[in-house]
Structure formats: C-alpha cells, structure tokens
Structure 1
C-alpha cells in the first residue's frame, strides 16, 4: 500500500503544469541523470545551464501574466467607477438617430480622423427624404460640434420624431472618414463583453466609454 501511495504521489507531482511544478520535475530529472550518468561520458554542463535558464524564463512569464491580469482587473474597476460619474450627463457619441421633441433637436457633431476640405451633415426623415444638409466647410481633425435648430432647408420647424443623421467628408475631392455624433443622456453603465465599460444612452444605444467624443 505504501509503495502504491508513493508511486501515485510521484506521478501527481510530476504531472503539474505550473512553473513551480515544472521546476520541481526538472530538478528531479536532473538529479536522476546525475546519479546515473556514464562516468566516461558525463553530462554537458552548458546544456544543464541552458535548461535551467529556460525554466526560469517560464516562471518569470507566468508571474508576469499574473501581475498583468491583476492590473487589468484593477483598471477595469477604476474605469467603471469613472463611467458611473457620467450617469445623468449628456454626452456626444457616435450615433445616427436624432430625436426631435417639441421642436428641439439634440446637439450633433462630426468626428474626423484627419483634416477635411469639406464636411457635410445630412438629416433625413423616416421616409428617407433629406430635410436639411448642414455644410460645415473645411474642418480640422477631431471632434466638430454642430448645432441643428430642428428646421428643414427652408427654415421651417420639422415635425417631432426620429431623424437619421449621416456625415460625409472629402479631401481634395476624395471621400474621407467621418462619423456622425449625437448627444444623449447617460442612463446606466454596463460591463461589455470585452470587459470595458459601456454607457447605455437614452436614445437606446450603447457606446463604449472610449467612444465618447464630448461631455456636454
């Protein structure tokens, strides 16, 4: 029974996968090799040194991964706490729906990855008809706030409802990247599938905290 127990214990100790298990297994094998080596053909000490260095490297990487995982958890918790402070605030974030209520439209904007020679914001109704086009002219890279007073191209107040907002930009006649921004109130903070903080907005969309272009 003692022999069986000892064998089981030995098998268990040499089947681990952690860095400490690997070190213990390596040392056991090394001692066994030294005890049974051929005196006329001893082991190469340089090879032993190289193997020991490899084990130390594996151990260091394992400890580094543990530290990074802990740091990531702490950063995520801190990000969620910061995001919670935005609840009730109006933020400018990527979106395509602008709700007009009592003749009032939300703050709009455009986000540009590079400077553009011409930028336009097009607003269409639920029927797909263009009600207004805001020509912003040349703009620098970054966030460009845009105020729409809730009127059509003739200056008449549009009916209450949801309108689609789209942004276009050109650089020397070529299309450039442009993202429409719509202001909405932050209602809640959630943790997204990738572990980062997400903001649930009053307009029904959810955006990542890093996507917020402005706080109004």
Structure 2
C-alpha cells in the first residue's frame, strides 16, 4: 500500500470535514472516503488482510449508526423543547385572572394602599428584621418583630420611611433577616395576588402579579375556582 497516497487522502478528508463542520471530528462521508482510498491504493502483491478490512467495515457501520442515533436524539431534543415551550405558553395564558402565589422579594406600593410583605420561616425565630429598599438599594424602612413561629407571616407596610415620611409609589425590594439567638433562620419572601398580564421574553415567560413581574417558574400555587 502507498502510505503517502493514503495520507494525502486522509488529509483531504480531514480538510473537507473541517470545512463542513468546523471541527476535527470525522464524519460518515470522510470515513468512507478513507476506506475507499485504502482499497484503491493497496499493494496488489500484499492486499489488505480480510480481517482488517472486515474490521474497518464494522467501524464504518458503527460510525454510520452513531451518526444516525445522534441525529435522532437531536431531533427528539428539539421536539421536546418545542413541546415544553408550547405547554408553558399555554399554561401562562390560562393563569390570567387567577389568584396565584409566587416567590419574589419585590412589593408594589400603590397609591395610599401600602403593601403586604409576605414571608415564611423554616424555624422559630426570636427576632425578624424586615428591611425595605428602593430600586437603587437605599434603605427606606426597617422594622423589627420580636418572636415568630415557623411558617407563613404577613407584615403590612404603610408606605412610610423610618421617619414617617411617605415614599413614592412603585416597586421596592424586601429583605428578611431572621435569627433565633445566635443562629440564623432561613426565610423566603413571596407575593400573592391576581395574575393580570403575561409577557413572552427571550429569557422566558413572565407573569405580572398585581404589578410585580415574576418568571413563570417561580409560581408556587394557583387558586382553583369554585365554579
């Protein structure tokens, strides 16, 4: 066999593969080209061993099957992604008008209405500190509650600063710092209200709950109508 000619064919196949796929992986066509090149350039006096040829055919068959499996898996993945997107969009549309609960550290302060700060604790706390910050991170209100059991809690913010001054309407961030002696207690903030708007974005589906927008994946419960 003329090794130089086979090497040239191998390099050509590799270059073709790079131009097609942009990487160094050998595809089905390139593997077949190499196999044909070996047969065309083998030494007639010392032809390719039958076992070796059979082995290479088996390798080609394996490559062909793997390429087929990979293509099938890719198509399946694309189909599943499309199904997930369609189901998410359909579910999002069905949420409008329903009362939902979602994880969020934001509250929407309405005109003269104040805002509900909802949170739950995974353990009993001897002290719970609630901090309200504006969109720039500036603290506008701090409230300390003595003693709180594990579970859900609600604190009504009147929309005033620590000095009793009314703050502008809009969205504010909530921070809960709960402790039990020297131990910290895990706390989560959430909002409850009516899902009144659905927005489809490049980052996923967003649901607006009484003016606070949350990712659809952060919704925990949906109230079922009695009708």
TM range (shorter): 0.5 to 0.7
Counterpart among 107, 114, 123 of residue 116 in structure 1: 123
The TM-score normalised by the length of structure 1 is 0.64
Q: Kindly tell me: are residues 207 and 110 of structure 1, through their superposed partners in 2, closer, same or farther at Cα, counting changes over 3 Å?
A: same
Q: Kindly tell me: are residues 31 and 123 of structure 1, through their superposed partners in 2, closer, same or farther at Cα, counting changes over 3 Å?
A: closer
Counterpart among 35, 48, 52 of residue 42 in structure 1: 48
2:218 alignment counterpart: 211
Report the Cα offset of residue 209 of structure 1.
0.9
The TM-score normalised by the length of structure 2 is 0.62
1:30 alignment counterpart: 35
2:10 alignment counterpart: none
CA contact (8 A) 2:206 2:216 kept: yes
CA contact (8 A) 2:128 2:144 kept: yes
Report the Cα offset of residue 52 of structure 1.
3.2
Report the Cα offset of residue 38 of structure 1.
2.4
What root-mean-square deviation, in Å, do the aligned CA atoms of Structure 1 and Structure 2 show?
3.9
Q: Kindly tell me: are residues 151 and 187 of structure 1, through their superposed partners in 2, closer, same or farther at Cα, counting changes over 3 Å?
A: closer
Aligned pair count reads 188
Report the Cα offset of residue 207 of structure 1.
1.3
CA distance in 2, matches of 1:180, 1:161: 22
CA distance in 2, matches of 1:136, 1:65: 55
Q: Structure 1: 5+ residue runs without aligned partners? A: 1-10, 153-157
Q: Structure 2: 5+ residue runs without aligned partners? A: 1-12, 160-164
Report the Cα offset of residue 210 of structure 1.
1.2
Give the 3-state SS of the residue equivalent to 1:129 in structure 2: strand
